[in-house]
Amino acid sequence: MKWRHPGQVVVAGFALATVVGTVLLMLPVSTETGEATGLLTALFTAVSAVCVTGLIVVDTPTYWSGFGEAVILGLIQVGGLGVMTLASVLAMLVAHRMGMRMQLFAQAETKSLGLGNVRSVVFGVIRLSLIVEAAVAVLLALRFGFGYDESFWRAVYLGVFHAVSAYNNAGFALFSDNLIGFATDPFVLFPIIVAVIIGGLGFPVIAEVLRRRERRGRRWSLHTRVTVLTYGALLAVGTVAVLLTEWRNPNTLGSLDLHHKLLVGLSHGVMPRTAGFNSLDLAHFEPTTLLVNDVLMFIGGGSAGTAGGIKVTTFALLGFVILAEIRGEPTVHVLGRRLPAEVQRQALTVALLGVGVVMIGTVALLAMTSFRLDEVLFESVSAFGTVGLSTGITAKIPAAGQLVLVALMFIGRLGPITMASALALRERPRRYELPEERPVVG
């Protein structure tokens, strides 16, 4: 079979990882009881892991054995780094070179801007991931060991699992209540928050920030400036929104003292960036809080990071497009640079396709279940944004609805543009232009 577009290989790679993960999770050795897992449960868990989402239909620490948890951890790592990034590294190790086709495939996965730097991007992604995961794992292992009297190897295991899950914005936890038991523990929450932010910003942004420290005087690129500013602004908005709407809620923040409220508020301001960890029971959230989280989850994190959503750059660029249109300006300027028309079209396409996918998923789930609209919408956006936050209805959704969530997670991880280009058989260049005519808008 001849691949016509690198996006097709990316989709095929994620599909293959899903199949392998599903088969492994169906084995009796993957469960605590030693019984084989049903196809749907295994498929849902595998997709949730490889798409670094975190939605679950069975309790991770009590249902899956150590082997099953290791499979989930491996799928998270593969999904976070990207199937084609790992394949590119293996190809270079075997052949000591990277061909043009492999560079194109790696470029499609890592979102690098040119073929010349694909090799350094691939190795940089691996290096950054291992450094951050190792550092967070050490901090968490020390806390679990000395703060909660876990045995040495258990503490190490917990540290590694949650570090990988946090950096890859997966949200899988080895505690039945996720992180609710650590809501007032900054030594657990802060390392996880930092890992989520670094993974969510994306390698290109982190690499450029680090390079600028070495070469003072160089200005950040437009992509980095837009990503950092928008990510920071949305982080502040999310934190303040949670604090304002849940401050007096006795089932969430109401029973906590001031500094613990601020800690938990920060945590839940970060997690909709698509991490999926929760230190509060989302089933008790106010409808306003859920709606704010819907917006934040849909936007997601940075491009080429482990977060999902339509990305903060897409959201920010559309804001600049709207601002230019309101001002009546013929071109769009962003932080001292002019925005090309094709980038504007791409941002609009990604956003509208995302809206369409979420709406279709929400309508389908509403037709299949008796849950409220705010619960179903939250679940759909969480799946599409590969977040993993839930009000607790995931396991109660019927089989057909869980398949809808599987589709939303898969599409959300790969991105509407990648999915569409992967399914396209060939490009059809326009050979002529039709006469221009302006319809009435609005």
Tens-digit pLDDT profile for residues 111-125: 555 555 667 777 888
Q: In the block, which residue shows the tokens 């995961």?
A: 133
In one-letter notation, the amino acid at residue 242 is V
Question: Are the beta carbons of 265 and 242 closer than 8 angstroms?
Answer: yes
Please give the average per-residue pLDDT across 229-254, as a whole number.
Answer: 94
Q: In the block, which residue shows the tokens 């660029």?
A: 317
- Across-strand partners of 337? 334
Which run of H or of E encompasses 156? Answer: helix 152-167
pLDDT greater than 90 at residue 230: yes
Total Cβ atoms within 10 A of residue 305: 28
Which residues are CB-contacts of 373 (< 8 A; sequence separation ≥ 6)? 362, 366
Question: Are the beta carbons of 171 and 275 closer than 8 angstroms?
Answer: yes
Question: Are the beta carbons of 31 and 58 closer than 8 angstroms?
Answer: no
Structure tokens of 328?
């009546």
Confidence of residue 247 (pLDDT cuts 50, 70, 90): very high
Structure tokens of 411?
């599409």
pLDDT of residue 107: 56
Structure tokens of 226?
């837009």
Structure tokens of 12?
């095929």
Q: Domain-by-domain residue ranges, the chain?
A: 6-422
pLDDT of residue 94: 45
Query: Dihedral angle at the C-alpha atoms of 340, 344, 347, 349, nearest 10 degrees?
Result: -130
Q: What pTM value is reported for the model?
A: 0.89
pLDDT of residue 106: 57
- Across-strand partners of 334? 337
Question: Are the beta carbons of 390 and 284 closer than 8 angstroms?
Answer: no
Question: Are the beta carbons of 194 and 173 closer than 8 angstroms?
Answer: no
163-188 pLDDT tens trace = 999 999 999 999 999 999 999 999 99
The candidate with the shortest Cα–Cα distance to 396, out of 423, 420, 372, 421, is 372
Cα–Cα distance measured from residue 314 to residue 269, given in angstroms and rounded to the nearest whole number: 20
Count of alpha carbons within 13 Å of 221, Cβ hemisphere only?
A: 14
Structure tokens of 266?
């920060």
Structure tokens of 309?
């959503």
Question: Are the beta carbons of 81 and 89 closer than 8 angstroms?
Answer: no
